[in-house]
C-alpha cells in the first residue's frame, strides 16, 4: 500500500472519529446534568427545576440526535477502509463494538424516546427512571467503545492463531487497565464539557436583561458543581494515565517526554523483533499532549473560581468578567478532548494493534489514493455541516431560554373542535 493512500485513510478516520467525539463528550455530560436536575424537580416539585429540565433536556436531545448520525458514518469506515483490521482482529475487536451498538441504538435510544414522548403521560418517577437509564447506558456505550480501543492499545486476553486473533480471556479484555483508566478520563472530560456548557450558557443569560434569573442562577451553580470536580478528576486521572501508558506503550511515553536515549533503545529492540522499520510515533505528539494538559489546568482554575463566585449575592466587576470568560470557554473542553484523542491514537503509530498489526497492513487492499481522496472530501464536508448545524441549533435554542423550550409542553388544542361527520 502506498504511503499517500495510507496517510489519506488515517486522516479520514482522524477527522471522523474526532468530530464524533465532540458530540459524545457533550452527550455524556448533559445526560447526567439533566437527570440530576429532573431528580430535584421530581422530588421537590420545584417549577424552576422543571423548567430547567425541559430547557437543558431539549439541548441534550438536539446534540444526541446529531451525534447518532456521525456515529453511523464512522461504522462504515471499518468495512470500507480497514478490512485488514477486521480480518485479523474482527473476532476480538468487533465484540465490544457490537455491544456498543446494542446499548446505544436499542436500549439508550429506546428509553430516550420513551422519555421524550412520556411527558405528562406516565408517572413522574417512572419518567425520571427512564432518563437515568439513558444516562447510565450512555456511559455503558462509552465503556464498550473504550474497551475496543483499549484493546488496540494493549491487546490482552487474545492470542494469534494463524492469521487471526482469537479471544481467550474475556475478563482480561473487559478489565483491561488501559480501557478502565481511559474510561475514567473520558467520563471526567464529558462531565466537564457538559457542566461547563450549562454554566457558560447560564452565564450568558445572566448578563442579559430580562433573563429568567431563577432558572439560570440555579443552572449556573449546577453546571459549576459538576464541572469543577470533574476538571480536578480529569486532570488527576490524566496524569495517572501516563503511568499506564509507560507500561505497554513505552515508545509513546519516551517520545512524548523527549527521552532520546530510551527512544533509540526501544527502536533497536523493536527492529530486532519485527524487522527493519521506524517504530516510533511522530515527534509532534507532545504538542497535543501539552495542549490537553494546559487547557485542563486552565479549566480547573476557571471552574473553581467561578464556583466560588457563583454564591455571591451581588455580581461585581470581577464576577461579571469571570462569567464572560465562562461563556467564551465553552469550546475549550472540546479542544482539549480532541487534542487528547489525537495524542492517544497517533501515539500508538505505526501500530493499528500494538505490536501485533501495523497500520499499513490494517488498511483495505482494494482502496486507492483517488477513492480515499474522494471519500475524505465527502466525509469532511458532511461532518463540517453536521457540526455547524449542531452548533447553530444549540445556539438558537439556548438563546431562546426556558420560554422557548418545547420539550414536555403539551400541544395547544384547537379552539374549535373539528365537526364530526354525519352519515
Indicate whether 194 belongs to any domain: yes
CA atoms within 13 A on the CB side of 200: 21
| Residues whose CB is less than 8 angstroms from the CB of residue 236 and which lie 6 or more positions away in sequence, other chains included | none
The secondary structure of 277-339 as a DSSP string is S--S--GGGHHHHHHHHHHHHHHHHHHHHHHHHTT-SS--HHHHHHHHHHHHGGGHHHHHHHH
Indicate whether 38 belongs to any domain: yes
Cell numbers that stand for 111 in this block: 428509553
Q: Judge whether 215 and 52 are in contact, CB under 8 Å.
A: yes
Domain that holds residue 298: 13-249+282-404
The secondary structure of 41-92 as a DSSP string is HHHH--HHHHHHHHHHHHHHHHHHHHHHHHHHHHHHHHHHH-HHHHHHHHHH
Hey, which of 29-38, 84-93, 208-217, 365-374 has the most confident mean pLDDT?
29-38
Indicate whether 91 belongs to any domain: yes
Q: At 17, which helix (H) or strand (E)?
A: helix 3-44
Nearest Cα to 140, choosing from 56, 28, 18? 28
* Residue bearing the bigger pLDDT, 314 or 197: 197
For residue range 103-155, list pLDDT tens digits in order: 777 888 889 999 999 888 899 999 999 999 999 999 998 999 999 999 999 99
Indicate whether 398 belongs to any domain: yes
Indicate whether 195 belongs to any domain: yes
Whether pTM > 0.75 for this model: the answer is yes
Does residue 173 surpass a pLDDT of 60? yes
Indicate whether 353 belongs to any domain: yes
What is d(CA 195, CA 7) in angstroms, rounded to the nearest whole number?
36
Indicate whether 419 belongs to any domain: no
* Domains held by the chain: number: 1
Q: Judge whether 33 and 349 are in contact, CB under 8 Å.
A: no
Indicate whether 259 belongs to any domain: no
Amino acid at each position: 500500500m502506498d504511503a499517500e493512500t495510507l496517510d489519506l485513510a488515517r486522516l479520514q478516520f482522524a477527522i471522523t472519529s474526532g468530530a464524533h467525539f465532540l458530540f459524545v463528550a457533550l452527550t455524556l455530560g448533559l445526560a447526567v446534568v439533566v437527570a440530576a436536575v429532573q431528580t430535584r424537580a421530581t422530588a421537590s416539585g420545584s417549577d424552576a427545576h422543571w423548567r430547567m429540565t425541559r430547557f437543558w433536556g431539549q439541548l441534550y436531545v438536539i446534540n444526541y440526535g446529531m451525534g447518532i448520525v456521525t456515529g453511523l458514518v464512522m461504522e462504515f469506515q471499518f468495512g470500507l477502509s480497514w478490512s485488514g483490521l477486521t480480518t485479523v482482529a474482527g473476532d476480538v475487536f468487533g465484540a465490544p463494538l457490537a455491544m456498543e451498538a446494542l446499548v446505544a441504538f436499542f436500549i439508550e435510544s429506546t428509553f430516550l424516546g420513551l422519555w421524550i414522548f412520556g411527558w405528562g403521560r406516565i408517572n413522574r418517577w417512572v419518567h425520571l427512571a427512564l432518563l437515568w437509564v439513558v444516562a447510565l447506558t450512555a456511559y455503558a456505550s462509552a465503556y464498550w467503545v473504550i474497551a475496543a480501543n483499549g484493546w488496540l492499545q494493549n491487546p490482552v486476553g487474545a492470542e494469534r492463531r494463524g492469521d487471526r486473533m482469537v479471544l481467550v480471556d474475556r475478563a482480561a479484555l473487559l478489565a483491561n487497565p488501559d480501557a478502565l483508566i481511559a474510561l475514567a478520563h473520558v467520563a471526567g472530560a464529558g462531565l466537564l464539557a457538559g457542566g461547563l456548557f450549562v454554566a457558560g450558557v447560564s452565564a450568558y443569560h445572566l448578563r442579559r436583561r430580562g433573563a429568567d434569573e431563577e432558572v439560570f442562577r440555579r443552572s449556573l451553580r449546577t453546571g459549576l458543581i459538576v464541572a469543577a470536580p470533574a476538571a480536578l478528576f480529569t486532570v488527576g486521572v490524566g496524569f495517572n494515565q501516563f503511568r499506564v501508558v509507560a507500561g505497554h506503550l513505552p515508545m509513546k511515553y519516551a517520545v512524548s517526554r523527549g527521552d532520546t536515549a530510551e527512544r533509540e533503545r526501544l527502536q533497536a529492540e523493536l527492529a530486532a523483533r519485527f524487522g527493519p522499520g521506524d517504530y516510533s510515533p511522530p515527534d509532534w505528539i507532545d504538542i497535543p499532549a501539552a495542549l490537553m494538559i494546559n487547557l485542563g489546568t486552565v479549566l480547573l482554575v476557571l471552574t473553581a473560581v467561578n464556583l466560588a463566585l457563583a454564591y455571591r449575592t451581588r455580581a461585581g466587576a470581577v464576577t461579571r468578567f469571570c462569567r464572560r470568560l465562562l461563556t467564551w470557554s465553552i469550546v475549550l473542553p472540546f479542544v482539549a478532548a480532541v487534542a487528547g484523542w489525537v495524542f492517544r491514537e497517533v501515539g500508538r503509530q505505526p501500530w493499528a494493534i500494538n505490536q501485533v498489526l501495523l497500520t499499513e497492513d490494517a488498511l483495505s487492499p482494494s482502496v486507492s489514493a483517488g477513492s480515499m481522496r474522494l471519500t475524505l472530501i465527502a466525509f469532511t464536508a458532511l461532518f463540517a455541516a453536521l457540526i455547524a448545524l449542531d452548533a447553530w441549533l444549540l445556539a438558537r435554542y439556548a438563546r431562546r431560554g426556558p420560554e422557548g423550550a418545547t420539550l414536555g409542553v403539551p400541544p395547544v388544542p384547537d379552539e374549535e373542535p373539528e365537526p364530526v361527520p354525519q352519515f
